[in-house]
Amino acid sequence: MTASLPSLLISQLEKSFSVGGKAVRALQDISLSCPEGSFTALIGPSGCGKSTLLRIIAGLESGDSGKVLVGGSMPDVLRRRGALGVAFQDPALLPWRSVRRNVALPFDVLGHRPTNWRPRVDSLIRLVGLSAFADALPRQLSGGMRQRASIARALVTNPSLLLLDEPFGALDEILRRSMNLELQRIWLEQPATAVLVTHDIEEAVFLADQVVVMQSHPGRITRILPVPFPRPRPRALMRAPEFHALVDELATLLEGTQAA
């Protein structure tokens, strides 16, 4: 619903929670810039605040201090405009709605279906390879197919910011790699500034333009590594020595965060 692609700017973001009457700092001094139309991956040990950061970017939670701006606007402004798409590990498809009606759900939440909503929904269903299942219910789909439907739903309002929280975390490794290829293809055809939370280093390197390494206690950024590989990235890249060199570098950095 918005034609322009924003840059994401996070400045000195802080967030604490109360656990058992004690304040626990989830995020400390998070500053990050994601260029317009880029793909950023967040990796780090469990409890480092990756998902909390993503929820704040989505406007689902607020920070205690600092700023999060998307194209100069607050995240909740984008969400109300339908300019923000989110896909989680659980596809959360409504079991009584068909694939087509699940993909169209954001229009119902926004309270407005544009006049071209049906062609828009069907084009996205075609893009994610589910045309033959447009009228199927979620229980009739495989796990990978349900995730495809979830990604199509996240894209249906033509968002300028796409947030992905472990979307393939529940899939086996072979299917996960196939879905990485599919996500790259979909993202190249439906461009948006994208942020992915993942525990999978190879997934982060294959998909991202930059990989943000986070550390826990408190959650903070320790390194930001650029990924130099041109797009589109073929499956064969995952076997290349330079790919594995970057994966090994990130693995070493992650081992350091866990030791800390």
pLDDT at 6: 57
Give residue 256's pLDDT: 74
Residue 112 carries which DSSP code?
Answer: -
The predicted pLDDT at position 3 comes to 42
| CATH at residue 24 | 3.40.50.300
209-222 confidence digits (pLDDT tens): 999 999 998 899 99
Please name the residue that has the structure tokens 């896909």.
87
Residues in the chain, total: 260
Q: Do the domain assignments include residue 186?
A: no
Q: What is the pLDDT of residues 66-123, one digit of tens each?
A: 999 988 888 888 888 888 899 988 889 999 999 999 999 999 888 878 788 889 999 9
- Residue 38 forms part of a structural domain: yes
Q: Are 148 and 182 in contact (CB under 8 A)?
A: yes
Number of domains forming the structure of the chain: 1
How far does Cα 252 stand from its chain's mean position? Answer: 24
Domain around 38: 10-83+163-168+192-260
Q: Is residue 23 part of a domain?
A: yes
Q: Which residues of the chain carry a pLDDT beneath 70?
A: 1-6, 257-260
